[in-house]
Structure 1
Amino acid sequence: MDTMKPFMSVLATGKSLTKQEAGDAFKTILSGAATPGQIGAFLMALSQRGETLDELLAGAELMRELVVPVDAPDNAIDTCGTGGDADSAGGGTYNISTAVAFVLAGCGVPVAKHGNRSLSSKSGSSEVLEQMGVNLSLPPERISTCIHEAGMGFMFAPAHHSAMKHVGPVRAELGIRTIFNLLGPLSNPAAAKYQLMGVFDDKWLTPLAETLKGLGSQKAWVVHGSDGLDEITTTGPTSVAALEDGTVRRFDVSPEDAKLPRAKPEDLRGGTPKENAAAMKALLSGEKSAYRDIVVLNSAAGLIVAGQAEDLENGARMAEQAVDTGKAKTALDKLIEISQQG
């Protein structure tokens, strides 16, 4: 249990850990060799000082090393956020990134979606998928079949990151965001090289994009809405850190870029998993709404990341077509069917 002491001594002085030190500390924690008190103190120290790129990279590399992997096409994309929409929509939005996954699949882009139960909203991706009839208790090879045949597969984080069981109770007791809120979306079990990632605070945009670069991502957008959403919002502008050709650049986008109307925060407010599942089915069946608009906007960004669209306007029209022709709904229906065979 003394193995954490050298790292705690460094953190106690306010200094940062080297990548090697951070990696060794995470190995100690994820192997079960650290006490709950040490884990809590470690996470709190990082949070208080601010996590560094080396610490993020070391943690993400180890989590990817320990993951139960899933085979996916080389051009697979992940649409996973850190969570953090509780305040921005007065209690949580509809499931945006999950609906985006079906739209992208409807456009022919394979999606390896990584997700968990809800952190901030009333209904996370796993809850709403279960409500719609998707079987989430699948072995890796069946998830791979879903990605290849339905165009979308869902990887439930606890099933792929078993080492996190050593950290879960401490995180719950701390009740604050820790480095693991950032590491989750960086640790895709299919090692997806393309990513549309939402984050709860714009201070993490560039660091997370740089971390994805270090992890070998080909192209990614890390986004944070001006209203606090960990999505591209339709209530105002959104800040983006885009990774492309090994370079990270910053810019802002707005719904007007995709010829979409602005929304009010209350128009995006979700409900229970049952209510959100009904809303998603209505959207995928062609119903027009503010929910549809924000899903179309985020899908447009996903299509840019996947190399299928030149800009948001072009991507938005492609996304709308995937919904209106029933292709996005077909992806959901196929996922339900294939997952239930598993």
Structure 2
Amino acid sequence: MNLSSSLIQFRELLKKVGSGTHTSKHLTRSEAATATRLMLEQEATPAQIGAFMIAHRIKRPTVEELAGMLDAYDQLGGKIPALDSATQYPVTVFGVPYDARSRTAPVFPITLLLLASVGVPVIFHGGDSMPTKYGIPFVEIWEALGVNYRSLSLSGSQQLLAKTGIGFYYLPQHFPQAQKLVPYREEIGKRPPLATIELLWSPYGGEANLISGFVHPPTEDRFRETFTLRNMKQLITVKGLEGSCDLARNRTAIIGITQPEKDFQRRHLHPQHYGFAGQDVILESLTQLTTQLKTIIAGKPGELMSAAIWNGGIYLWLCGVCPDLETGLTQAEELITTGIVADKLKQLTV
């Protein structure tokens, strides 16, 4: 059997990362970009792709490899076009796990509505229910709130971003090559390194500030080093619930701020110091979550209200809307209780 040049090329890259503890080697940035491109374009065989994913997960990707994988995503993935005119605040892209949350109730949609309400353009990205967690995807949460993001083209997403301040990048619609690799996650039973890329990738065609969730400290270190290598503008890392960008109420919020030509800043925010300590709400069903979110949007007391204000206040401060966290918390509560957040949702559902 004669193998094509692409299969031979990929086989050599696979041999480098999959040769075992003592003999495997790291890929260069360009090699990692090539391997990712060959997977995305299905020029590697299914056996090769699955083997590469599990071998690379066991080896753990280096910063150079992460940068190369992101290069391939930039090359092949469609992006929401840059806004035609300048905005008061930079576009902020949130990177959260595509397999979503399965244990704790998210208030992330409220955070997006809050930021958009004060002029911070925000983009989030993801797909449908996905291995390995099979959490409730955000596209379904927004549909339950009356917003349909599935059918928008990239230009349509840009128009919605310009009009409402919130844009969504829907993987099956906007990056079908990456969507075709999703079944491998179920077949290998583990998140592949591509799941890490999704936290760091910006599907926006212009400059953007990036906020990425993480669980383990080594992941955050790699994020920061990759950020520096790729000359990105601003990276904020948060140790969020289940790796998301939602900050817990039952533990200290750990936030890292990386900016070009500035010293790295580490922030430890203790909910009890601001009167927001409490238990994080359990995620039981989409129906219950929708009711909880609608209660917040209506400005009524509920289980998730404190979490919504805590997160909203932090992000209003981090995005430069408020000079300090105390002001951010006050403004977040006002935006919710005075109906401004509800008005923003109405704008999205029209």
Question: What is the TM-score normalised by the length of structure 1?
Answer: 0.87
CA contact (8 A) 1:209 1:221 kept: no
CA contact (8 A) 1:84 1:200 kept: no
**Structure 2 counterpart of 1:156:** 170
Structure 1: unaligned runs, 5 residues or longer: 338-342
Q: Cα distance, 1:8 vs. partner?
A: 1.7
**Structure 1 counterpart of 2:194:** 180
Task: Find out whether 1:233 has 2:233 as its counterpart.
Answer: no
Counterpart of 1:28, as a letter, is: L
The 5 A counterparts of 1:51-62 are 51-62=61-72
Counterpart of 1:196, as a letter, is: I
Q: Distance in 1 between matches of 2:154 and 2:51?
A: 34
Q: Distance in 1 between matches of 2:57 and 2:286?
A: 31
Judge which range, 55-64 or 283-292, deviates more. 283-292
Q: Cα distance, 1:282 vs. partner?
A: 1.2
Summarize deviations over 1:149-197 as a string: whole Å, max 9, x none. Answer: 1121222122222211442221221121111111113223214611222
Q: Distance in 2 between matches of 1:164 and 1:84?
A: 14
Partner SS, residue 61 of structure 2: coil
Q: Distance in 2 between matches of 1:48 and 1:165?
A: 23
Q: Distance in 1 between matches of 2:143 and 2:75?
A: 28
Question: How many equivalent pairs are there?
Answer: 329
* Highest RCO, 1 vs 2 (Cα 8 Å, sep ≥ 6): 1
| Match for residue 11 of structure 2 among 5, 20, 26 | 5
After superposition, the CA RMSD in angstroms is 2.3
Summarize deviations over 1:294-342 as a string: whole Å, max 9, x none. Answer: 23232233223322223322222222222122222222111111xxxxx
**Structure 2 counterpart of 1:269:** 282
The 5 A counterparts of 1:197-216 are 197-216=212-231
**Structure 1 counterpart of 2:293:** 280
The 5 A counterparts of 1:1-342 are 1-11=7-17, 12=19, 13-73=23-83, 75-82=90-97, 91-119=102-130, 120=133, 122-136=135-149, 137-191=151-205, 193-225=208-240, 228=242, 230=244, 231-247=246-262, 248-256=264-272, 259-265=274-280, 268-337=281-350
CA contact (8 A) 2:98 2:198 kept: no
| Pair 1:291–1:213, CA change in 2 (3 A) | farther
Q: Cα distance, 1:104 vs. partner?
A: 0.8
Q: Distance in 1 between matches of 2:68 and 2:36?
A: 8
Summarize deviations over 1:100-132 as a string: whole Å, max 9, x none. Answer: 111111122111222223443642211111112
Partner SS, residue 304 of structure 2: helix
Q: Cα distance, 1:200 vs. partner?
A: 3.4
CA contact (8 A) 2:141 2:290 kept: yes
CA contact (8 A) 1:219 1:305 kept: no
CA contact (8 A) 1:79 1:97 kept: no
| Pair 1:282–1:264, CA change in 2 (3 A) | same
Partner SS, residue 223 of structure 1: strand
Q: Distance in 1 between matches of 2:228 and 2:296?
A: 34
| Pair 1:202–1:62, CA change in 2 (3 A) | same
| Pair 1:220–1:96, CA change in 2 (3 A) | farther
Structure ID, larger Rg: 2
Percent identical across equivalent pairs?
22
Question: What is the TM-score normalised by the length of structure 2?
Answer: 0.86
Judge which range, 205-214 or 47-56, deviates more. 205-214
CA contact (8 A) 2:238 2:255 kept: yes
Counterpart of 1:29, as a letter, is: M
| Pair 1:65–1:256, CA change in 2 (3 A) | farther
Q: Distance in 1 between matches of 2:330 and 2:336?
A: 10
Counterpart of 2:14, as a letter, is: M
Q: Cα distance, 1:251 vs. partner?
A: 3.8
CA contact (8 A) 1:84 1:228 kept: no
